[in-house]
Amino acid sequence: MFGLEERALVSPREMEERSRLLASRGLTVPGNESVILGFFEEERLVATGSLVGNILQGIAVDRELEGEGVAATVTSALLKKAMQMGRRPPSLICPAMSPASPPGSTIAAAAVSGHARR
Protein backbone atom coordinates (compact mmCIF):
# COMPACT_ATOMS: atom_id res chain seq x y z
CA MET A 1 0.00 0.00 0.00
CA PHE A 2 1.25 3.50 -0.84
CA GLY A 3 4.40 1.88 -2.23
CA LEU A 4 5.71 1.49 1.33
CA GLU A 5 7.63 -1.54 2.50
CA GLU A 6 6.56 -2.86 5.91
CA ARG A 7 9.17 -4.56 8.05
CA ALA A 8 9.98 -5.30 11.68
CA LEU A 9 12.57 -2.90 13.09
CA VAL A 10 15.50 -4.62 14.77
CA SER A 11 18.83 -3.02 13.85
CA PRO A 12 20.35 -0.23 15.95
CA ARG A 13 20.33 2.04 12.85
CA GLU A 14 16.60 1.44 12.31
CA MET A 15 15.87 2.05 15.99
CA GLU A 16 17.78 5.35 15.88
CA GLU A 17 15.84 6.41 12.76
CA ARG A 18 12.63 5.50 14.56
CA SER A 19 13.62 7.52 17.62
CA ARG A 20 14.25 10.55 15.39
CA LEU A 21 10.91 10.14 13.59
CA LEU A 22 9.05 9.87 16.90
CA ALA A 23 10.88 12.92 18.27
CA SER A 24 10.02 14.92 15.13
CA ARG A 25 6.36 14.32 15.99
CA GLY A 26 6.76 15.17 19.68
CA LEU A 27 6.71 11.53 20.80
CA THR A 28 9.10 9.34 22.76
CA VAL A 29 9.96 5.68 22.35
CA PRO A 30 7.33 3.77 24.36
CA GLY A 31 9.55 0.96 25.70
CA ASN A 32 8.59 -2.65 26.47
CA GLU A 33 7.39 -3.16 22.91
CA SER A 34 6.71 -6.69 21.67
CA VAL A 35 6.31 -5.63 18.02
CA ILE A 36 7.94 -2.63 16.32
CA LEU A 37 7.04 -1.98 12.69
CA GLY A 38 8.62 0.41 10.24
CA PHE A 39 7.32 1.55 6.89
CA PHE A 40 9.92 2.52 4.34
CA GLU A 41 9.92 4.55 1.16
CA GLU A 42 13.00 3.19 -0.59
CA GLU A 43 15.36 2.96 2.43
CA ARG A 44 13.92 5.95 4.32
CA LEU A 45 11.78 5.25 7.39
CA VAL A 46 8.58 7.28 6.91
CA ALA A 47 6.23 5.70 9.46
CA THR A 48 6.38 3.53 12.56
CA GLY A 49 4.21 1.98 15.24
CA SER A 50 4.47 -0.60 18.00
CA LEU A 51 2.58 -2.95 20.28
CA VAL A 52 3.17 -2.63 24.01
CA GLY A 53 1.26 -5.50 25.52
CA ASN A 54 -2.24 -4.97 24.18
CA ILE A 55 -1.80 -1.28 23.35
CA LEU A 56 -0.85 0.39 20.08
CA GLN A 57 1.76 3.09 20.78
CA GLY A 58 4.47 5.08 19.09
CA ILE A 59 2.58 5.63 15.85
CA ALA A 60 4.24 8.37 13.83
CA VAL A 61 4.21 9.39 10.17
CA ASP A 62 6.67 11.68 8.42
CA ARG A 63 5.14 15.12 7.86
CA GLU A 64 5.56 14.75 4.08
CA LEU A 65 3.05 11.88 4.10
CA GLU A 66 0.52 13.47 6.46
CA GLY A 67 -3.03 13.16 5.20
CA GLU A 68 -2.19 10.25 2.88
CA GLY A 69 -3.72 7.52 5.04
CA VAL A 70 -0.37 6.14 6.22
CA ALA A 71 -1.33 6.25 9.92
CA ALA A 72 -4.33 4.05 9.09
CA THR A 73 -1.99 1.63 7.31
CA VAL A 74 0.29 1.48 10.36
CA THR A 75 -2.68 0.96 12.69
CA SER A 76 -4.15 -1.79 10.48
CA ALA A 77 -0.81 -3.59 10.30
CA LEU A 78 -0.43 -3.49 14.09
CA LEU A 79 -3.99 -4.74 14.62
CA LYS A 80 -3.30 -7.60 12.21
CA LYS A 81 -0.08 -8.52 14.07
CA ALA A 82 -1.91 -8.44 17.41
CA MET A 83 -4.63 -10.75 16.12
CA GLN A 84 -2.03 -13.12 14.62
CA MET A 85 -0.41 -13.27 18.05
CA GLY A 86 -3.76 -14.20 19.60
CA ARG A 87 -4.17 -10.98 21.53
CA ARG A 88 -7.52 -9.47 22.39
CA PRO A 89 -8.41 -6.36 20.36
CA PRO A 90 -5.72 -3.77 21.18
CA SER A 91 -6.21 -0.25 22.46
CA LEU A 92 -4.64 2.86 20.97
CA ILE A 93 -2.81 5.44 23.11
CA CYS A 94 -2.55 8.90 21.57
CA PRO A 95 -1.98 12.48 22.74
CA ALA A 96 -5.17 14.18 23.88
CA MET A 97 -6.26 16.65 21.22
CA SER A 98 -8.81 18.62 23.21
CA PRO A 99 -7.86 22.22 24.08
CA ALA A 100 -9.12 21.47 27.60
CA SER A 101 -6.69 18.57 28.04
CA PRO A 102 -3.57 19.30 30.08
CA PRO A 103 -0.28 19.08 28.13
CA GLY A 104 1.09 15.55 27.98
CA SER A 105 -2.25 13.89 28.72
CA THR A 106 -3.31 10.89 26.67
CA ILE A 107 -6.47 9.20 25.55
CA ALA A 108 -6.76 5.42 25.33
CA ALA A 109 -9.22 4.47 22.62
CA ALA A 110 -10.42 0.92 22.22
CA ALA A 111 -9.51 0.18 18.62
CA VAL A 112 -12.39 -2.18 17.92
CA SER A 113 -15.21 -0.92 20.12
CA GLY A 114 -14.60 2.77 19.52
CA HIS A 115 -14.91 3.61 23.22
CA ALA A 116 -12.38 5.98 24.74
CA ARG A 117 -11.19 6.55 28.30
CA ARG A 118 -8.81 9.04 29.92
pTM of the model: 0.76
Boundaries of every domain in the chain = 5-91
Sequence-distant (≥ 6) Cβ neighbours of residue 85 within 8 angstroms: 34, 35
The confidence score (pLDDT) of residue 70 equals 95
Longest dimension (CA), the chain: 40
Which pLDDT score is estimated for 2?
A: 60
Write down the architecture of domain 5-91 according to CATH.
3-Layer(aba) Sandwich (3.40)
Q: Is the pLDDT of residue 101 over 50?
A: no
Asked if the model's pLDDT at residue 76 lies above 90, the reply is: yes
Q: Which residues pair with 64 in a beta bridge?
A: none
CA-based nearest residue to 45, from 65, 28, 21, 67: 21
Contacts of 17 (CB under 8 A, 6+ apart): 38, 45
Mean pLDDT across the stretch 69-84?
92
Q: Where are the beta strands (DSSP E) in 27-81?
A: 35-41, 44-52, 55-61
Confidence (pLDDT) at 55? 87
